[in-house]
Amino acid sequence: MTTPIHLNQFQSLIESLNEVLSFVKPADAVLRQFFREQSKIGGHDRRYIVETVYGILRHAESLLPFAPIHASRRLALLFHMKIEGRSLRDLEKLCTSEELQWLKDVKASPVTPSLSTKTGLPEWIVNKLKDLYPEEELLALGRSMMFEAPLDIRVNTFLVSREEVLNELLSLGFNASITPHSPLGIRIQGRPSLQDLQLFKKGYFEIQDEGSQLLGLMLAPKRRDLIIDFCAGAGGKTLLLATLMHNHGRVYAFDVSSKRLDQLKPRLKRSGLSNIMPVLIESERDQRVKRLNGKADRVLVDAPCSGLGTLRRNPDLKYRQSAQGIDELVVKQRAILESAAHCVKPGGMLMYATCSILFEENEDQVKWFSEKHPDFVLTNNEQLELGLSGEQYLKCLPHKHGTDGFFAAIWQRKVS
């Protein structure tokens, strides 16, 4: 039996959805601000709003044949009828007479589903992928990203073992298990709040998708290395690299955003690590970057990208990004790679990584860099058991590995 929707709930939903569907800001940021401003909305109504907004974003391609992307009321009514299976009787109290007749017309209309409808991906993304994947695999990829991602955490093995954290979570009643690929990860079912746990406050774990964990493991830093995390952001991979180095060596966390680096500071304090140096830079050509030219053992370029591998978490990205935006990102990614390459010492390693599923941001960038820099040689991916033995890059996909979409390639700089 479906829970009835009250008119005031629906009105609050439409108010928040109007803001989300402007696509000016990320959906999660819009909803956080909306709930701050509408502080009297209770927990039950908040859950309804969040679940419905994200449901509409995930299933929008099935709704858009009947209503445009900015038609908040019609998209919400369609979602409740077509995706949730609510009856017209359930919805009539939420509708105008015109909307009710429109719903009846939609219900009676036969539709031949397009590839976009089947995959949940806009046409511009389908056009980029359809010649690269067999249709069956493209359908599996698209459909896998229409579901909510699991909650993965990475254990801080500098302080505690994975077994200890897992046992404590199980004793607290969480439905938790080890991740299938990362030796540092734990997967927790549902969407429980973890920030109030003593385990979290003590720095015993960080929230991090398993695919993201695999990138750091693939780079395989050594204890005494000098490492540069070129686009460190809030520092998830920075912390992982520093942990793998057992708090030895030095990790420079570069980023152009002081706001993102500020988010690293409390995480660093919790972690117990002291081998990380956050550095605010103006651009990839900053003098603070150039002074490390030729000195780094390993450089990670977790490049700014479309983020289309994270659609399970951020379904609005498929409408906030565009084909033109991808072209601009490709130029930026190449500029960052060029600067990062100068920092790698002879014999050192350069990793290029994205959370994208697009070839322009991934394989095409690897080909471009390899052709332009014959002094860098692609290494084989032998560190990870993902059924990718012999491949020259890591490629995680949600329908295959249960992770977000991630890509990574590693070059070694020739000694002479």
pLDDT tens-digit series, residues 89-123: 999 999 999 999 999 999 998 888 999 999 999 99
Mean pLDDT of the chain: 94
Regions in the chain scoring below 70 on pLDDT: 1, 381-391
The pLDDT of residue 356: 97
- H-helix or E-strand containing 347? strand 344-354
Sheet of strand 151-155: strand arrangement: 176-178, 185-188, 151-155, 205-207
* Bridge partner residues of 94 (DSSP): none
The pLDDT of residue 391: 67
288 in Cβ contact with 279 (< 8 Å): yes
The pLDDT of residue 289: 87
pTM above 0.85, yes or no: yes
Please list, in sequence order, all residues whose beta carbon lies within 8 angstroms of the beta carbon of residue 257, skipping any fewer than 6 positions away: 233
How far apart, in Å, are the Cα atoms of 414 and each of 220, 247, 276, 346, 392?
A: 18, 28, 27, 6, 17
Give the C-alpha separation, 103 to 66, whole Å: 10
Annotated catalytic residue 95: no
The pLDDT of residue 416: 77
Give the C-alpha separation, 391 to 414, whole Å: 20
Give the C-alpha separation, 211 to 8, whole Å: 40
Give the C-alpha separation, 69 to 59, whole Å: 11
Q: Which residue has the tokens 């599996």?
A: 140
Give the three-class secondary structure for 352. strand
How far apart, in Å, are the Cα atoms of 364 and each of 43, 82, 306, 352, 361?
A: 46, 39, 15, 12, 6
Closest CA to 60 of 311, 263, 237: 311
Q: Read off the tokens for 133.
A: 């994947």
The pLDDT of residue 110: 84
Q: Read off the tokens for 176.
A: 């938790």
Out of 231, 305, 343, 355, the active site residue is 355
φ, ψ of residue 274 to 5 degrees: the values are -130, 10
Domains located in the chain, CATH noted: 7-111 (no CATH), 210-413 (3.40.50.150)
The pLDDT of residue 138: 97
Residue type, 315: P
How many CB atoms lie under 10 A from the CB of residue 18? 14
Give the C-alpha separation, 156 to 159, whole Å: 6
Give the three-class secondary structure for 297. strand
Please list, in sequence order, all residues whose beta carbon lies within 8 angstroms of the beta carbon of residue 96, skipping any fewer than 6 positions away: none
- Per DSSP bridges, beta strands 250-255 and 226-229 are parallel
DSSP 149: P
φ, ψ of residue 296 to 5 degrees: the values are -85, 135
The pLDDT of residue 389: 46
The pLDDT of residue 268: 94
The pLDDT of residue 385: 54
Residue type, 230: F
Helices (H) and strands (E) in the chain, counts: 20, 12
